[in-house]
Every structure is written in C-alpha cells, then in structure tokens.
Copies of this chain bind each other. A is one copy, B any other.
Amino acid sequence: MKLATLNNGRPDGQLVVVSADLARCVAAGRIAPTLQAALDDWNAHAPALAALSVQLDAGAIAGQPFDAGNALAPLPRAYQWIDGAGYLSHLERVRTLNGSKDAELQSARPLLYQGGSDSLVAPTAPIVVPEGDLAIDFEAEVAVIVGPVPMGATRDQAASAIRLITVCNDVSLRRLVADDLQNGFGFFHAKPSSSFAPIVITPDSLGEAWRDSRLHLSVRIEVNGTLFGQPNAGTDMHFDFADLIVEAARTRKLTAGTIIGGGTVSNRHDESLPIKRDGIGFACIAEARTVEKLKYGRARTPFLQTGDTVRIGAVTADGRTVFGDINQTVQRA
C-alpha cells in the first residue's frame, strides 16, 4: 500500500491512496482524513486503505492523476521526529569536520537526536534558510513511521511497530553544528525543518527491498542535475531500524506517528567526486568534503548556495523512483 498527503489548504492535508505505478490516486477521506488519523487507529483503518488500494490498482476506481507537485510531506506536521545515526561511516567522516565526541559510545549504542517536527517540508517546496554563511548541506536518509511503541520495547516489538517507510532530507547548517555540539543540548539551530518524499509505503508492499529492518535500495542524489551519490541504504547500516527504535524507547514510550530517521545513508569507500555512472558517492556534502581533504589536502565540493537544487529519491535497480523524489531549491528567508 502506498499513501501520500495532498495539499488541501489545511495543516495536515488530505490523505490519498496512490496506485502501485504512482500514476493515480484516490482520496481516503471516507476512511481517514489524514495520515495521522489513519495511524491513530491503524488496525481498523489499514485494512480499509489496503482494500481501496487494491481497487485502485485493479482499475475498479479511476481515481485522479497523482501530482507529486501538490504533495505535502506525508505527515506535514508530526508529534515526533527522531533522527538516528545508523551508518557509522557517516559519523566517522563528519566527526573530523565537526569536532564530535569520542567514537566508543557511538558503535555500542546508536546516537539519536530529537528533531523539530512541527513543520515538515513538502518534497518540492524550497529549502528556506536564514541569511548568512551557514554551510548549507543536505542529508539523504531513509525514515520509518511507527505505531505505538512501549517503553523498554524489545527488537521484535520495535520491528513490528514499523508501519510505513520513505526517504527524507535532513537539512543541516554545518556552520552551526559545532556550537550546538559544544552546548551539548542537541542540534537545535543546525537542523531546521526536514523534507520528505511524497509517498510512504508499507513494509509488505516493498517486497524484497525491505528486510532485516533495512531498506535495500539505492538512494540517488543529484545536485544541480549532476549525480552526487547513490549509496545503498541496506549496505553498511550498522544499527538497523529495530535498533534505533529500541534505543529511542529506552526511557519513554513512542506514540503512533513518530518518525525515525536512519541517519545519512553512507557506504564505506574512498572514491571522491565526481563519481562515475556506477560509483557510490555521498548522501551529504560534508562526507564528500572529508574524503577530499584526506585525498587532496583541501575540500573542493562547495556547500549549497541560494538557487542550488537537490534531488533525492530511492530507486529500483532499473532506476525507477520508489517513494517519488524530493526535489528542492535553496532559498533565503
């Protein structure tokens, strides 16, 4: 089952069921007006949404063309956005830039931070950043949306709480990371609102691409139309999503609709940019710059500037977008 949220002028938008080929959609308002409403009573609503999905795919319902340009983030505002650090090579590469802390804690238990969830950005909305030289970066990630998770959840409870999967862009202001880390209070200023792909998909509808609580697909990133990276999200993910959820629920329960990011997708390699057609590359600029510094003594890839574009999407082996693409332009407030 594939779901999306269309802009209807309301803060939470309008839930729609999207066809398997992403071409058409049908309003789900008779079942649940919004994605949060569906998640609030998932056991009751999911079967009805799945039945609607079957009818749409069979052509029994014509529906309407699915316009990703009119999609909001699947949850335009959420009650929780937690970002984990599943890929250690991302941490290792950015640590040299940001002055982060010792590595020991990071490989034993995943790091998590609490992000702002009050305004999650639509896939084609601009990345709006404040004035100033803030070293604007993207971070391409896989994210899951969970149902209720009890405090002290087991791995099995965590894995089975995963309702929906998508990709996101955890926009980062690298110039502010060091100050935030120094304060110790979290990435309050360095991480403005994150952006999301238009479509969320249930684990069963991803087939072989979802297994071991990991998404086994390449996440393809283009900056200004040039391939920047296509690391596989199922490769080198040291902490899987069950690990991240267990860690998130150590001292508190998680309520339905909590979004958990897997951290910047990152595969181990020592290529630098530009990458070849079959290269791996990077899912954020900071990592590319670290590899360049090690190889050439200086970073060559600039951070994002006003007017730059970033396209992010998970793709099948034959290059088709799975969740629809995030496609954004950087803009000053």
Which A residues lie at the B interface, using CB under 8 A? 11, 40, 77-80, 82, 100-101, 105-106, 111-119, 128-130, 134, 151-152, 173, 176, 179-190, 192-193, 248, 250-255, 257-258, 333
Nearest residue in B to A105 (C-beta to C-beta)?
B183
Which 9 residue pairs across A and B have the least CB separation, nearest first? A186-B186, A79-B118, A80-B118, A181-B184, A192-B252, A118-B255, A113-B185, A114-B114, A77-B79
A-side interface mostly: loop
Are A118's CB and B257's CB within 8 A?
A: yes
Are A105's CB and B179's CB within 8 A?
A: yes
Nearest residue in B to A178 (C-beta to C-beta)?
B184
Residue numbers in B under 8 Å from A254 (CB-CB) = 118
Contact of A80 among B116, B190, B250 (CB under 8 A): B116
- How near does chain B come to A54, taking the closest CB pair, in angstroms? 29
- How near does chain B come to A145, taking the closest CB pair, in angstroms? 12
Nearest residue in B to A81 (C-beta to C-beta)?
B114
Residue numbers in B under 8 Å from A80 (CB-CB) = 116-118
In whole angstroms, what is the CA distance A190 to B112 when docked?
12
In whole angstroms, what is the CA distance A54 to B128 when docked?
42
Contact of A151 among B40, B114, B130, B257 (CB under 8 A): B130
- How near does chain B come to A137, taking the closest CB pair, in angstroms? 13
Most buried by B among A134, A181, A253: A253
- How near does chain B come to A196, taking the closest CB pair, in angstroms? 15
Residue numbers in B under 8 Å from A187 (CB-CB) = 185-186
Residue numbers in B under 8 Å from A113 (CB-CB) = 114, 185-186, 188
Are A101's CB and B182's CB within 8 A?
A: yes
Are A118's CB and B192's CB within 8 A?
A: no
With A114-B115, A173-B251, A255-B118 known as contacts, the answer to whether A100 contacts B130 (CB < 8 A) is: no
In whole angstroms, what is the CA distance A129 to B250 when docked?
10
- How near does chain B come to A162, taking the closest CB pair, in angstroms? 16
Residue numbers in B under 8 Å from A179 (CB-CB) = 105
Are B151's CB and A77's CB within 8 A?
A: no
Contact of A184 among B101, B128, B130, B333 (CB under 8 A): B101
Most buried by B among A118, A151, A152, A181: A118
